[in-house]
Structure 1
Amino acid sequence: MRIFVLLIGVLGTGVLLWLGIWQMQRLEWKEGVLAEIEARITAAPVAVPQTPDPEADRYLPVAADGTLVGPEVHVLVSTKLRGAGYRIIQAFETDGRRMLVDRGYVDVEDKTKARTAGPVSVVGNLHWPDEIDSFTPDNDIAANTWFARDVPSLAAHLNTEPVMIIARDVSPNDPSLTPLPVDTSGIPNDHLGYAVTWFGLAAVWVGMTLLFLYRGRRKPA
């Protein structure tokens, strides 16, 4: 019996340690991916490609001169420093094209305030956010309250290409807007937590194995 317990203890500990090591390897890989994305985000901006690809051109830094036109779309968002508010998304006409621009954040009470439009220079990054899951409510089009930046839906609503620039800088600047540029904070990286969990379970497994072996050695009174 003690040999069986020891065997299970060794095998279980080995599996749990292997899972922890694997998660550390995944952590190293994920940090490398995030570093590559950060480098891409902050690279020198280029012109918007004629046919941007949602995968190949994700996070591509771009610069364009054009005109903000038409109505706004208000997408509900929450920030750490200012709480709930809205992203302001608007159509942007440039070089005979019409695309989307995420201009930035306004507080809830500023949703309906007038904002400057017209000719601007935009520097930002192309992005196709994946913000819809089974818990996302349907957009309230009548109240102009959207709950996700679904590029195809926004493009159909504002009659643009399914291309969106997340603004990093808009000139001239509207002081009521705070840009929310693309970064890697929304990309999950939980591998360290998983590794700690597996290593912790390995320690518990060793402790339980030793406890069983100790109890097995005790003779009845």
Structure 2
Amino acid sequence: MSEDPAARRPLWITVVLLGLSVALIAVFLLLGNWQIRRLAWKQDLITAVDERAFGDPADLPAQFDPERHAYLRVSVDGDFLDVAPILVKAVTEIGPGYWVMSPMKVEAGILWVNRGYVPPDLKDPGQWAAPATPVEGLLRPDAPGGTVMERNRPDADRWVSRDTQAMSAARGLDGALPYFLDADPLTGPGDWPRGGMTVISFRNSHLAYALTWYAMAALFAAALVYVIRTGLKGTG
């Protein structure tokens, strides 16, 4: 008759394995609880952003806080400056192209306005309609440097992100605000650039992650109970 491997195992090894198992179950539960807290935070964020984006337009904030003012709907009056716009690479629901960024002089400084999208064959400013003021739209934090895949190249006038400080420097402007304005349509429905294309979407998978961690804890606990009961029967 073969000897039971559990009978040859030192007691301290069994105790350590049981302790590690209990610790893993606790970790899985803590991770699940953390995801539930993240779920509540994300739901509050979505609610807050909806209230900002679809409420009555406000004035520009005296002190911009990305946590409080991202996607805030504002109405701004000022003067578009007579400098060359900056084209920022864009991928939209109607295809690739560019965001048209133009600086506006407002009381607080230089506000870069995203006038909207143009396709590659319409990137000549002579093909665009003149923007109207005042401008209504959503505030967005600037994006310094570029993207994960590509960097801005101010020296070549190649842009992949809305970096307001670098754009102002490239056009010889001072006093750039640390945010830009995604404008609603500034012209007629058939004109370019096409505004009002801001996509407000937040990935919210926290409930699925929480259920996954809880399921792992439950399965691990069930396996642990099975092993313990099997061991007790073997010693009976």
TM-score when normalising by structure 1: 0.76
Check 1:67–1:172 CA distance in 2 against 1; reply closer, same or farther (3 A cut).
Answer: farther
Check 1:16–1:215 CA distance in 2 against 1; reply closer, same or farther (3 A cut).
Answer: same
Please give the alpha-carbon distance, in whole angstroms, between the structure 2 residues aligned to 1:156 and 1:190. 39
Give the structure with the larger strand fraction: 1
1:180 Cα deviation (Å)? 4.6
Structure with bigger gyration radius: 2
What RMSD over aligned residues (CA atoms) do the two structures have, in Å? 3.4
Q: Is the counterpart of residue 62 in structure 1 residue 62 in structure 2?
A: no
- Please name the residue that 1:76 is paired with: 89
Q: Is the counterpart of residue 161 in structure 1 residue 172 in structure 2?
A: no
Q: Is the counterpart of residue 42 in structure 1 residue 58 in structure 2?
A: no
- Which amino acid counterpart does residue 194 of structure 2 have in structure 1? T
Please give the alpha-carbon distance, in whole angstroms, between the structure 1 residues aligned to 2:32 and 2:212. 8
Instruction: Give identity over the alignment, percent.
Output: 25
Q: Is the counterpart of residue 170 in structure 1 residue 181 in structure 2?
A: no
Structure 1, unpaired ranges of 5+? none
1:149 Cα deviation (Å)? 0.9
Structure 2, unpaired ranges of 5+? 1-10
Q: Deviations over 1:58-117 (max 9, x none)?
A: 4332212344332111111222x2232211101224569642111111223322353122
Q: Answer yes or no: is the 8 Å Cα contact 2:147–2:160 preserved in 1.
A: no
Q: Deviations over 1:25-44 (max 9, x none)?
A: 22112211221122122221
Q: Is the counterpart of residue 205 in structure 1 residue 216 in structure 2?
A: no
**SS at structure 2 position matched to 1:170:** coil
- Which amino acid counterpart does residue 147 of structure 1 have in structure 2? V
Give the structure with the larger helix fraction: 2
Q: Which has the higher contact order (CA 8 A, sep 6+)?
A: 1
Q: How does 1:1-221 map to 2 (within 5 A)?
A: 4=15, 8-49=20-61, 51-55=62-66, 57-68=69-80, 69-79=82-92, 81-94=93-106, 98-112=110-124, 114-117=127-130, 119-130=132-143, 132=145, 135-141=148-154, 144-158=157-171, 159=173, 161-163=175-177, 164-171=180-187, 175-180=191-196, 182=198, 184-185=200-201, 187=202, 189-210=204-225, 212-213=227-228, 216=231
